[in-house]
Amino acid sequence: MKVLIVHAHPEPLSFCGALFETAIETLEAAGHTVMTSDLYAMGFDPVSDRRNFHTQHHPTYLRLQQEERYAARRDSFTAEIDGEMAKLEEAELLILLFPLWWFGLPAILKGWVDRVFAMGRIYEEGQLYQHGRFAERRALLCVTTGANEPAYQPEGLHGDIHAILRPIERGILQCVGYQVLAPALFHGPAGAEQVVREHWLDEWAARLTTIERESPIEVGRY
Protein backbone atom coordinates (compact mmCIF):
# COMPACT_ATOMS: atom_id res chain seq x y z
CA MET A 1 0.00 0.00 0.00
CA LYS A 2 0.86 3.65 -0.15
CA VAL A 3 0.60 5.08 3.35
CA LEU A 4 0.56 8.69 4.54
CA ILE A 5 1.45 9.33 8.19
CA VAL A 6 0.63 12.80 9.49
CA HIS A 7 2.52 13.35 12.76
CA ALA A 8 1.72 16.19 15.16
CA HIS A 9 3.98 16.32 18.22
CA PRO A 10 6.53 19.06 18.91
CA GLU A 11 9.10 16.76 20.60
CA PRO A 12 10.86 14.21 18.36
CA LEU A 13 11.99 12.18 21.40
CA SER A 14 8.44 11.82 22.75
CA PHE A 15 6.54 8.54 22.74
CA CYS A 16 4.57 9.95 19.80
CA GLY A 17 7.89 10.39 18.04
CA ALA A 18 8.77 6.76 18.78
CA LEU A 19 5.39 5.62 17.41
CA PHE A 20 6.06 7.68 14.27
CA GLU A 21 9.51 6.20 13.68
CA THR A 22 8.28 2.68 14.45
CA ALA A 23 5.46 3.07 11.93
CA ILE A 24 7.80 4.23 9.18
CA GLU A 25 10.31 1.43 9.78
CA THR A 26 7.69 -1.30 10.11
CA LEU A 27 5.61 -0.32 7.10
CA GLU A 28 8.65 0.10 4.85
CA ALA A 29 10.04 -3.26 6.00
CA ALA A 30 6.69 -4.82 5.04
CA GLY A 31 7.04 -3.44 1.52
CA HIS A 32 4.68 -0.48 1.76
CA THR A 33 5.47 2.96 0.37
CA VAL A 34 5.44 5.49 3.22
CA MET A 35 4.87 9.21 2.82
CA THR A 36 5.06 11.50 5.86
CA SER A 37 3.97 14.93 6.98
CA ASP A 38 5.82 15.70 10.21
CA LEU A 39 3.98 18.94 10.84
CA TYR A 40 6.16 20.52 13.53
CA ALA A 41 9.34 19.58 11.69
CA MET A 42 7.86 21.13 8.55
CA GLY A 43 6.87 24.30 10.37
CA PHE A 44 3.40 23.84 8.94
CA ASP A 45 1.21 26.94 9.22
CA PRO A 46 -2.22 25.87 10.55
CA VAL A 47 -4.02 29.13 9.76
CA SER A 48 -6.45 28.83 6.86
CA ASP A 49 -7.00 32.01 4.86
CA ARG A 50 -6.20 33.54 1.45
CA ARG A 51 -2.64 32.25 1.73
CA ASN A 52 -4.03 28.87 0.61
CA PHE A 53 -4.53 30.17 -2.93
CA HIS A 54 -2.79 31.88 -5.83
CA THR A 55 -6.17 33.07 -7.12
CA GLN A 56 -8.97 35.23 -5.73
CA HIS A 57 -12.58 34.60 -6.68
CA HIS A 58 -14.02 37.30 -4.40
CA PRO A 59 -11.18 39.68 -3.49
CA THR A 60 -13.25 41.80 -1.09
CA TYR A 61 -15.02 39.09 0.95
CA LEU A 62 -13.48 35.76 1.87
CA ARG A 63 -15.68 32.67 1.61
CA LEU A 64 -13.22 29.83 2.07
CA GLN A 65 -15.31 27.07 0.51
CA GLN A 66 -15.99 29.17 -2.60
CA GLU A 67 -12.31 30.04 -2.89
CA GLU A 68 -11.40 26.35 -2.48
CA ARG A 69 -13.75 25.36 -5.29
CA TYR A 70 -12.40 28.15 -7.46
CA ALA A 71 -8.80 27.11 -6.77
CA ALA A 72 -9.62 23.45 -7.40
CA ARG A 73 -10.99 24.26 -10.86
CA ARG A 74 -7.90 26.31 -11.71
CA ASP A 75 -5.25 24.20 -9.97
CA SER A 76 -4.24 27.28 -8.02
CA PHE A 77 -3.58 26.09 -4.48
CA THR A 78 -0.19 27.12 -3.14
CA ALA A 79 2.63 24.59 -3.49
CA GLU A 80 2.56 23.79 0.24
CA ILE A 81 -1.14 22.90 0.22
CA ASP A 82 -1.10 21.24 -3.18
CA GLY A 83 1.74 18.99 -2.05
CA GLU A 84 -0.18 17.84 1.01
CA MET A 85 -3.30 17.22 -1.07
CA ALA A 86 -1.29 15.17 -3.56
CA LYS A 87 0.03 12.93 -0.79
CA LEU A 88 -3.48 12.51 0.59
CA GLU A 89 -4.84 11.62 -2.85
CA GLU A 90 -2.07 9.08 -3.43
CA ALA A 91 -2.33 7.30 -0.08
CA GLU A 92 -4.45 4.19 0.33
CA LEU A 93 -4.08 4.38 4.11
CA LEU A 94 -3.98 7.58 6.18
CA ILE A 95 -2.61 7.53 9.74
CA LEU A 96 -3.10 10.59 11.94
CA LEU A 97 -0.63 10.30 14.82
CA PHE A 98 -0.99 12.79 17.66
CA PRO A 99 -1.35 13.44 21.39
CA LEU A 100 -4.91 14.10 22.56
CA TRP A 101 -4.94 17.74 23.66
CA TRP A 102 -8.07 19.13 25.29
CA PHE A 103 -10.15 16.24 23.90
CA GLY A 104 -9.19 16.94 20.31
CA LEU A 105 -6.52 17.39 17.70
CA PRO A 106 -3.49 19.60 18.37
CA ALA A 107 -4.00 22.95 16.65
CA ILE A 108 -1.33 22.26 14.04
CA LEU A 109 -3.11 19.06 12.96
CA LYS A 110 -6.57 20.63 13.01
CA GLY A 111 -5.15 23.39 10.84
CA TRP A 112 -3.72 20.81 8.46
CA VAL A 113 -7.22 19.38 8.07
CA ASP A 114 -8.72 22.87 7.68
CA ARG A 115 -6.32 23.76 4.88
CA VAL A 116 -5.86 20.43 3.10
CA PHE A 117 -9.40 18.98 3.18
CA ALA A 118 -10.57 21.51 0.61
CA MET A 119 -13.96 21.63 -1.06
CA GLY A 120 -13.83 20.83 -4.74
CA ARG A 121 -10.71 18.73 -4.36
CA ILE A 122 -11.03 16.49 -1.29
CA TYR A 123 -14.81 16.62 -0.89
CA GLU A 124 -17.87 18.02 -2.58
CA GLU A 125 -21.58 18.38 -1.93
CA GLY A 126 -23.28 15.08 -2.68
CA GLN A 127 -19.96 13.25 -2.33
CA LEU A 128 -19.81 12.62 1.41
CA TYR A 129 -19.58 9.58 3.70
CA GLN A 130 -20.12 6.36 1.69
CA HIS A 131 -20.23 8.45 -1.49
CA GLY A 132 -17.07 10.38 -0.65
CA ARG A 133 -14.05 10.58 -2.89
CA PHE A 134 -12.01 8.52 -0.42
CA ALA A 135 -14.55 5.72 -0.07
CA GLU A 136 -12.03 3.12 -1.23
CA ARG A 137 -9.38 4.32 1.24
CA ARG A 138 -8.83 3.59 4.92
CA ALA A 139 -7.69 5.68 7.86
CA LEU A 140 -6.86 5.27 11.52
CA LEU A 141 -5.96 7.41 14.51
CA CYS A 142 -2.85 6.67 16.58
CA VAL A 143 -3.34 8.58 19.82
CA THR A 144 -1.52 9.13 23.09
CA THR A 145 -3.25 10.51 26.18
CA GLY A 146 -2.01 12.15 29.33
CA ALA A 147 -4.30 10.27 31.70
CA ASN A 148 -4.34 6.51 32.18
CA GLU A 149 -6.78 4.06 30.59
CA PRO A 150 -9.38 3.93 33.40
CA ALA A 151 -9.94 7.68 33.00
CA TYR A 152 -11.15 7.10 29.44
CA GLN A 153 -13.71 4.40 30.17
CA PRO A 154 -17.42 5.28 29.80
CA GLU A 155 -17.72 5.80 33.56
CA GLY A 156 -14.20 7.17 33.99
CA LEU A 157 -13.11 10.70 34.83
CA HIS A 158 -12.94 11.87 31.20
CA GLY A 159 -15.50 9.54 29.67
CA ASP A 160 -15.47 7.13 26.76
CA ILE A 161 -12.41 7.64 24.57
CA HIS A 162 -14.36 6.40 21.55
CA ALA A 163 -16.99 9.09 22.07
CA ILE A 164 -14.19 11.67 22.37
CA LEU A 165 -12.65 10.54 19.08
CA ARG A 166 -15.95 10.32 17.19
CA PRO A 167 -15.86 13.97 15.97
CA ILE A 168 -12.56 13.14 14.26
CA GLU A 169 -13.43 9.68 12.99
CA ARG A 170 -16.96 10.56 11.87
CA GLY A 171 -16.82 14.30 11.28
CA ILE A 172 -13.51 14.36 9.40
CA LEU A 173 -12.47 10.93 8.14
CA GLN A 174 -15.78 9.25 7.37
CA CYS A 175 -17.20 12.55 6.14
CA VAL A 176 -14.88 12.50 3.10
CA GLY A 177 -15.39 8.76 2.64
CA TYR A 178 -12.67 6.98 4.58
CA GLN A 179 -13.32 3.57 6.07
CA VAL A 180 -12.06 3.92 9.64
CA LEU A 181 -9.95 1.28 11.34
CA ALA A 182 -9.85 0.83 15.12
CA PRO A 183 -7.77 3.55 16.78
CA ALA A 184 -4.40 2.71 18.29
CA LEU A 185 -4.61 4.05 21.84
CA PHE A 186 -1.69 4.53 24.24
CA HIS A 187 -2.71 5.89 27.62
CA GLY A 188 -0.34 7.81 29.85
CA PRO A 189 2.99 6.98 28.20
CA ALA A 190 4.77 9.82 30.01
CA GLY A 191 4.17 8.06 33.33
CA ALA A 192 4.70 4.51 32.08
CA GLU A 193 7.83 2.49 32.72
CA GLN A 194 10.25 2.02 29.85
CA VAL A 195 9.49 -1.69 29.60
CA VAL A 196 5.80 -0.86 29.14
CA ARG A 197 6.54 1.70 26.44
CA GLU A 198 8.73 -0.81 24.63
CA HIS A 199 5.93 -3.38 24.81
CA TRP A 200 3.50 -0.85 23.33
CA LEU A 201 5.88 -0.13 20.46
CA ASP A 202 6.18 -3.85 19.78
CA GLU A 203 2.37 -4.17 19.74
CA TRP A 204 2.10 -1.20 17.37
CA ALA A 205 4.68 -2.72 15.02
CA ALA A 206 2.97 -6.12 15.11
CA ARG A 207 -0.34 -4.53 14.18
CA LEU A 208 1.15 -2.60 11.29
CA THR A 209 2.67 -5.73 9.76
CA THR A 210 -0.85 -6.95 8.93
CA ILE A 211 -2.69 -3.63 8.72
CA GLU A 212 -3.78 -4.24 5.12
CA ARG A 213 -5.93 -7.16 6.30
CA GLU A 214 -7.88 -5.22 8.95
CA SER A 215 -11.58 -4.53 8.60
CA PRO A 216 -13.15 -1.13 9.35
CA ILE A 217 -15.06 -0.49 12.55
CA GLU A 218 -18.51 0.99 13.09
CA VAL A 219 -17.85 4.52 14.32
CA GLY A 220 -21.50 5.48 14.84
CA ARG A 221 -23.37 8.74 14.47
CA TYR A 222 -23.54 11.56 16.96
Q: Which residues are catalytic?
A: 146, 152, 158
Q: Which secondary structure element, helix H or strand E, spans residue 86, and what is its range?
A: helix 79-90
209 touches 26 (CB < 8 A) = yes
Query: What DSSP line would sit under 13-42, residue for residue?
Result: TSHHHHHHHHHHHHHHHTT-EEEEEEHHHH
Q: Would you give the DSSP letter of residue 96? A: E
188 touches 9 (CB < 8 A) = no
Q: Which secondary structure element, helix H or strand E, spans residue 7, and what is its range?
A: strand 2-7
What amino acid occupies position 77?
F
Q: How far is CA 93 from CA 1, 33, 56, 103, 175, in A?
A: 7, 10, 33, 24, 16
Closest CA to 45 of 81, 18, 77: 81
**Distance from the first to the final alpha carbon of the chain:** 31
Q: Which secondary structure element, helix H or strand E, spans residue 143, and what is its range?
A: strand 138-145
